[in-house]
Amino acid sequence: MCGVFGAALPPGSGTEAANVAALGLFSLQHRGQESAGLAVSDGAELFLYKDLGMISSVLDERRLPSFRGDLAIAHCRYSTTGSTIWENAQPTLRLGPRRAVAIGHNGNLVNTRDLLGQLKGGRGRLPATTDTELLTALLADEPGEDTVEALTTLLPRVRGAYSLVILDRDRILGVRDPHGFRPLCIGRIRDVAAPLATPGGLWGDDAPADGPRDAWVLSSETTGLDIVGAEYIRDVEPGEIVVLQPGREPVSARFATATPALCVFELIYFARPDSYLEGRSLYEARRRMGIQLAMEHPADTDLVMPVPDTGGPAAAGYAEASGIPFREGLVRNRYTGRTFIQPSQTLRHRGVTMKLNPLRDVVRGQRLTVVDDSIVRGTTTKQIVALLRRAGAAEVHVRITAPPIYNPCFYGIDTQVETELIAATKSVEEIREFIGADTLGYLSIAGVLAALDLPYDRFCFACFDGNYPEPVPYDVERRKFMLEEPVLAGG
Ligand code: SF4
């Protein structure tokens, strides 16, 4: 996970690039809640601000006016390599001998040890313990006329998942790994100067002088385009580098052949339902998954209800296909984080108990079909079933709009240890017993594909079927804290 955003505004835009990047990032808060940050270039120098916490507390309106420059990138973090400490917040910034660069990274690299061996000076040069810090240091050192040339020689040595926004002194670059595990799209804000430069407009005294021009943005999801008023142009292609410069059309370069394997979990759960991926509305895709689920695993119940917020579209589809009435039976406290994103077991447990409350009058005496998007460790679902039973539910039938998760993810989702995954050690019947449900049904891979109406080979399904698009060395790369281990000192 993680959310990234980049904004290249017309020359002379004052502080607007920082404002646009921060606003775009707000729409990506669901992708990471541990830290947030912003890097800006005024054409001569790069400035960085980052901190632990939610975007609204880190990038607040008192700080943004100090970020002047036409180029900005922003990042919110959900950790997959390295602890949740200030040093590991992003963007990362490196003033290297060859160039100054800042990077916001969504994904996870799988050959970090190899890359560390390529860094002159080894781990002692890294202030942080993330794969992104390492990548930034390598890019700052890499020979080449400019950042694009350096990337075309560096990236073929980098393996794993990376959707990047990169800032140098005069450009923003968007990059996706050859598989395109994580999304990244390009948007355009047309003629930004015209409406915004009017008296009282967002530019105020900083209004660009010479007529309407377009701004270009990069965003992890299309919701980031919507919130800043940008139109969707296209996705950054797997294996592509897109260069955005103020006042110019984007330029494209290729560093690898595309072998697409978009994370299917982005469509099932991670991305917002109002986002579009692979040309699909995710709300509609999830509603269709609910329809498929009702066909694969019918239930004889009185009500269908979602686990809020992400189970909503699929529950609507399940109700529509089954003819069972749809009702909300759980209310989510909107001011606690998504539990799966919290990094430690302690916080995860507290998050579940703090965030959901049953509507007792709705569920009392009722046979319920409860629709959710995934079961990872099983503890959350177990608590939800217990909550509903305590509220008086007569029966609880759990339906999941994803197949069982048998395998860990090494491409940007923090489920790196098999023992954390309940389906890796228990059968479906044992999971049903563990969570305390009357019945349990998972949507099949074929059902997911039927709902998406797209072929299998467009996606990564590795956590469901073990077909990893990018091989992962077993004993080396499967550790979140590998850059914090003394054995790697000196690289
Ligand atoms: S392993 Fe699973 S979560 Fe990871 S990228 Fe593949 S489909 Fe997504």
pLDDT tens column, 380-409: 899 999 999 999 999 999 999 999 999 989
- The tokens for 201 are 């407009």
154 and 300 in one domain? no
Atom 4 of ligand 1, residue of closest alpha carbon: 409
In a domain, 479, yes or no: no
Amino acid 128: pLDDT: 72
Residues 150 and 204 reside in one and the same domain: yes
- Domain of 229, CATH number, reads 3.60.20.10
CA dist list (Å): 69 to 15, 21, 401, 454:
6, 12, 44, 42
Residue 125's identity, in one-letter code, is R
Expressed in angstroms and rounded, the spacing between residue 265 Cα and the centre of ligand 1 is: 6
Give a yes or no: residue 345 inside a domain: yes
Q: Letter for the amino acid at 473?
A: P
* Residues of the chain under the 50 pLDDT cut: 194-204, 207-208, 211, 338-340, 475-478, 480-481, 486-491
Q: What is the pLDDT of residue 348?
A: 55
> What is the predicted pLDDT for the residue at 483?
53
Question: Beta-carbon neighbour count of residue 470 at 10 Å?
Answer: 20
Could you tell me if residue 240 is inside a domain?
A: yes
Total count of domains within the chain: 2
Q: Whose CA is nearest to atom 5 of ligand 1?
A: 263
305 and 399 co-located in one domain:
yes
2 has catalytic annotation: yes
Compute the distance from residue 445 Cα to the ligand 1 centre, in Å: 13
Instruction: Identify residue 33 by its one-letter amino acid code.
Output: Q
Any residues with CB less than 8 A from the CB of 362 and at least 6 apart, and which? 303, 305, 327, 328, 329
Pocket test for ligand 1, best of 159, 181, 265 (most atoms within 8 A of CB): 265
Do 190 and 117 share a structural domain?
Answer: yes
What is the model's pTM?
A: 0.89
| 264 ligand 1 Cβ < 6 A | yes
Which residues constitute the domain of residue 355? 282-456
Structural domain contains residue 148: yes
Q: Per the structure block, which two tokens stand in for 418?
A: 């098999």
Q: Both 186 and 45 in a single domain?
A: yes
If asked whether residues 134 and 49 sit together in one domain, one would say yes
In this structure, are residues 488 and 290 in contact, taking their beta carbons and an 8 Å threshold? no
Q: Are residues 160 and 43 in the same domain?
A: yes
Are 252 and 320 members of one domain? no
Check whether residue 211 and residue 319 sit in a common domain: no
Ligand 1 atom nearest the C-alpha of 263 is 8
DSSP letters for 105-144: EEEEES-HHHHHHHSTTGGGG-SS-SHHHHHHHHHHH--S
Residue 361 is part of a domain; what is its CATH number?
Answer: 3.40.50.2020
pLDDT per position as a tens digit, 418-438: 778 999 999 999 999 999 999
Evaluate whether residue 139 is within a structural domain: yes
Whether residues 300 and 219 fall in one domain? no
Strands 459-460 and 262-263: parallel
Q: Are residues 192 and 287 in the same domain?
A: no
In a domain, 366, yes or no: yes
Within 310-411, where are the H helices?
312-322, 345-355, 360-363, 379-390
Extract the tokens encoding 166: 């990169």
Residue 482 located in a structural domain: no
* Atom in ligand 1 nearest the alpha carbon of residue 264: 7
The side-by-side arrangement of strands in the sheet containing 367-372 is: 303-306, 367-372, 395-400, 439-442
Whole-number Cα distances in Å, 90 to 49, 330, 475: 9, 35, 27
Answer yes or no: do 299 and 254 share one domain.
Answer: no
Residue 11: its pLDDT value, please?
82
With respect to residue 206, please indicate whether it lies within any of the assigned structural domains. yes
